[in-house]
Amino acid sequence: MSELLLSGAHAWARDEAIRAFLRGRPEFLTEDPDLMRALGVRPDAANVVDFGPEALSRVARAHRRESSVRRRLEALAEANFEAAARTHEAVLDLIAADGPADLARRLRRLARRKFGLVAAVLAAEREAPEGWRLLAEGQCDLTLGAARAVRLGPAPTATGLFGEDAPRIGSAALIRLSLGAPARAGVVAFGAEAEDAFHPHMGHELIDFIARAIEVIARRWASS
């Protein structure tokens, strides 16, 4: 052990001696082109040491990684902005509906044309307006899960909601609705062909926004 410590002390003293020598005589390094090339640096101007090809390539790789991350973040931000804009446009279209059946038709059309989905369905328990699917009492809990507000991903218990489109549905977004007075449960269901179009870990703020707008619109007719 003592021999290892002694060897380490000698190595440290040697390294310090080299550093002291180079600090005192920097020209020993800067005036030796072969040594500079071996170290991957070159003197570019007086008192300036520029990075050589090897060091520059490391900087370039780091820059490419940074640029790639920045491009992905910019693309994600742009996609989020576009999705939000489309959602707001969709809600404005839904507000113009002249009745429950027209609301269901508009939602289905918007889902297909604006969002590229297979289907969109409105459903309510006990009493369904025209154009909506009728659910038995308690069926929302069976479809979404008891007391759950949202369900995203493959949803075998929801296939019946989509009627003739059911065989094409790979994943679904189901959002609970609170309808009418006295209040009864309902659901808005979006169906996509791809199994990963909707998944449990994705954000659902925009489809929540659509669901809340549908609740407000539906109350307008219930109170009239």
Encode pLDDT of 116-153 as tens digits.
Answer: 999 999 999 988 889 999 999 999 998 888 888 999 99
- Mean pLDDT on 65-87: 73
pLDDT of 151 reads: 92
pLDDT at 1: 41
Where does CATH 3.30.450.40 sit in the chain?
99-222
- Which one has a higher pLDDT value, 30 or 148? 148
Among residues of the chain, what percentage have pLDDT more than 90? 32
C-alpha to C-alpha distance for 218 and 36, rounded to whole angstroms: 77
CA distances from 196 to 2, 3, 187 (A): 63, 63, 21
Q: Indicate the average pLDDT of the chain.
A: 78
Per DSSP, 161 falls in state G
Cβ-contact 140, 187 below 8 angstroms: yes
Q: CA-CA distances (angstroms) from residue 154 to 124, 130, 174, 196, 209?
A: 21, 28, 10, 8, 21
Q: Any bridge partners for residue 178, and if so which?
A: 185
The region of weakest confidence among 41-50, 51-60, 213-222 is: 41-50
As given in the structure block, the two tokens for residue 83 are 């999705």
Looking at residues 102-119, what average pLDDT do you find? 92
The model scores a pTM over 0.95 = no
Name which residue leads in pLDDT, 204 or 78. 204
Alpha-helix runs per DSSP H in the chain: 2-24, 27-30, 33-39, 53-95, 100-113, 139-144, 205-222
Beta bridge partners of 124: 134, 186
Higher pLDDT among residues 194 and 61, named by residue:
194
Where does the pLDDT of residue 4 fall: very low under 50, low under 70, confident under 90, or very high at 90 and above? very low
CATH topology of domain 99-222: Beta-Lactamase (3.30.450)
Provide the pLDDT confidence category of residue 15 given band limits of 50, 70 and 90.
low
Q: What is the pLDDT of residue 187?
A: 94
* Average pLDDT estimate for 159-173: 91
Calpha distance 94→103 (Å, rounded): 6
**What is the bridge-based pairing of β-strands 119-125 and 184-192?**
antiparallel
